[in-house]
Chain A
Amino acid sequence: MSGTSSHQIDAATAWGGKTSPFNVSYGKLMMWFFLVSDGLTFGGLLSALGFAKFANPAANGNWPMGEEVFTHFPFTHANLPLLYVAFMTFILIVSSVTMVLAVEAGHRMDKKGVIKWLAFTVVGGLIFLGSQVWEWSTFIAGPDGNLSTWHDNTTISHNCYGGVYEVVGEHEHKHTVISSYGPTLYSNFFFFITGFHGFHVFTGVLFNLLVLRNVVRGVYHRRGHYEMVEKVGLYWHFVDLVWVFVFTFFYLV
């Protein structure tokens, strides 16, 4: 936008009808258009998951159960269904709240408030990404990070692969192996959709960091408004919105 901000555009050039028909700026309108199309992408992916679940007879009775998809928690081997994923959900909701507080501070031209809340939002996003890394690595390598030496095969037997794990060998040669795989179709959807969402979180954190840098440098204060915070805020809330649906359709239903 720096290319056009060096000279004034009159309303008749910017909007054919002299004023914005939706009473929003061009940038916000385009962000909404993008979010609608991105929302359709996620909607299509989650609908495809439903199709795969209902269409696949091999999955009947063999499809992983929502609340048993992830039952681990850091520093413990206890069977805790949903708790870790609920923690991730809560982190994302809180970071959405701090983002909307940053937007509110921007409306009052409160630069310090925007910096504080936007920084919290970035931290929340990073905690979520770190949590997802831990979740994925636990899925792939077991909670001890080494599936082949992991003995407690009862909690992992209902992981996202829906596979069966067996302990083979005796005494110090004991190790866990995968003796049969569950519906890999499910894990394909799981890793693709949560991965695609995680990629959105990652880019959201990047955008937030870039805007935070500009806020600190006073770019938006000089411009007279904090609309850019609002635009990345829309994207960030969208990421939270998608997670609400991912949470329901992977971990609950």
Chain B
Amino acid sequence: MLVRDDIVEYSLDTHHSEEEGKLVRKKIWKVTIILSVITLIEVLIGVKFPKGTDPGMQWTMIKYGYIILTAVKAGYIVLVFMHLGDERKNLRYMILVPYIMFILYLIFILVFEAGYVNNAWETLR
């Protein structure tokens, strides 16, 4: 058998026994149910409260609700399915912190600028 350094290092952490496997699978099915239920809730809200009927405050709250539900789903996928929650803390932060900081900045700058650009076009009309 060929032996490589990273293989030895890797196999120290990630092989597990049948009993441990059972626990891991239990967690996987639990997260599957959570993700399916959240998707079902999103679809039901989308059907029950179409945007066309109420563009006011209710819609704004539903919109933020969607974004929160999406973030919850994303968290479960990244931390459980991609096993980032099981990795070392320094790896977790190295991946998540720069990404989240950059994306929040990008969204902030684009949404605020979009408002000003919209005003400018309306004024030009």
Contacts and interface: CB of A to CB of B under 8 A. Distances in A.
A and B from one complex: yes
Nearest to A1: B4
A59 to B, nearest CB: 9
A237 B13 CA distance: 21
- The contact size tier of chain A is 35 or more
A104 B40 CA distance: 27
B95 A36 contact: yes
Interface residues of B, number: 67
Contacts of B9: 11, 19-20, 23, 25
Interface stretch (A142-150, A185-193, A195-203, A222-230): A222-230
Q: Looking at chain A's contact residues, is the secondary structure mostly helix, strand, loop, or mixed?
A: helix
B36 A223 contact: no
A23 B81 contact: no
A227 B10 contact: yes
Query: Which residue, of A10, A100, A234, has the highest number of chain B Cβ atoms within 10 A?
Result: A100
A108 B113 contact: no
Nearest to B3: A8
A57 B125 contact: yes
Contacts of B29: 97
Contacts of A78: none
B105 to A, nearest CB: 10
Interface string A1-37: 0001110111101100001111111110100100010
A136 interface: no
B67 A107 contact: no
Q: Looking at chain B's contact residues, is the secondary structure mostly helix, strand, loop, or mixed?
A: helix
Contacts of A224: 1, 7, 11
Query: Which residue, of B6, B43, B98, has the highest number of chain A Cβ atoms within 10 A?
Result: B6
6 contacts: A11-B9, A51-B114, A107-B16, A223-B2, A248-B42, A248-B66
Interface of A: 4-6, 8-11, 13-14, 19-27, 29, 32, 36, 39-40, 43-44, 47-48, 50-57, 65-68, 81-83, 86, 89-90, 93-94, 96-97, 99-101, 103-104, 107-109, 222-225, 227, 230, 233-234, 237-238, 240-241, 244-245, 247-248, 251-253
Given A100-B81, A103-B83, A107-B24, 13 more contacts: A5-B2, A5-B4, A6-B2, A20-B9, A40-B99, A68-B50, A68-B52, A93-B39, A104-B21, A107-B21, A244-B74, A244-B77, A252-B46
Interface of B: 1-7, 9-11, 13-18, 21, 24-25, 28-29, 32, 35-36, 39-40, 42-43, 46-47, 50-52, 63, 66-67, 70, 73-74, 77-78, 80-83, 87-88, 90-91, 94-95, 98-99, 102-103, 106-107, 110-111, 113-115, 117-118, 121-122, 125
